[in-house]
């Protein structure tokens, strides 16, 4: 399972959000990341949505790694986030009019949810 979060325009002088994620396997962290996003997000939903793309990529890499060492992951990878707007946009097959400007690479997350590789869930 994984946890993701972004701090919308949380870093002074750059206006870039700080994004973070951690993936846990068998009760212990196996991957952790905290960095500035590459571009300035226009909303909290967008900042979280961009983080979802990175988290999906990491989840896929971890699944392939565990498969290579003989520990295949056969279930959905649950990724928890605290922004319901981003989760709704990811789950919803349609794109919201306020999200149409987002780069195509971030639709990667929707595709992999549709393939049954990852699922995003809300937590407080």
2-122 homologous superfamily: Ribonuclease H-like superfamily/Ribonuclease H (3.30.420.10)
Q: Confirm if 62 and 30 have CB atoms less than 8 A apart.
A: yes
Report the C-alpha gap between 13 and 48 in whole angstroms: 20
- Domain residues of the chain, as ranges? 2-122
Between 61 and 14, name the one with better pLDDT.
61
Is the pLDDT at 65 greater than 60? The verdict is yes
Q: What is the mean pLDDT of residues 4-30?
A: 84
Report the C-alpha gap between 58 and 107 in whole angstroms: 15
pTM greater than the 0.75 cutoff: yes
Mean of all residue pLDDT scores within the chain: 83
Is the pLDDT at 98 greater than 80? The verdict is no
Contacting residues for 59 by C-beta, under 8 A, at least 6 apart = 2, 23, 77, 79, 117, 118
Is the pLDDT at 96 greater than 70? The verdict is no
Between 76 and 10, name the one with better pLDDT.
76
pLDDT of 93 reads 56
């Amino acid at each position: 399972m994984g946890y993701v979060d972004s701090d919308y325009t949380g870093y002074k002088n750059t206006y870039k959000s700080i994004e973070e994620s951690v993936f846990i396997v068998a009760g212990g962290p196996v991957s952790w990341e905290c960095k500035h996003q590459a571009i300035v997000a226009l909303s909290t939903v967008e900042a979280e949505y961009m983080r979802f793309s990175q988290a999906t990529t990491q989840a896929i890499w971890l699944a392939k790694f565990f498969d290579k060492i003989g520990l295949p992951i056969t279930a959905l990878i649950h990724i928890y986030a605290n922004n319901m707007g981003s989760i709704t946009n990811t789950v919803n097959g349609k794109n919201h009019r306020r999200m149409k400007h987002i780069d195509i690479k971030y639709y990667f997350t929707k595709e992999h949810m549709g393939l049954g590789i990852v699922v995003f869930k809300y937590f407080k």
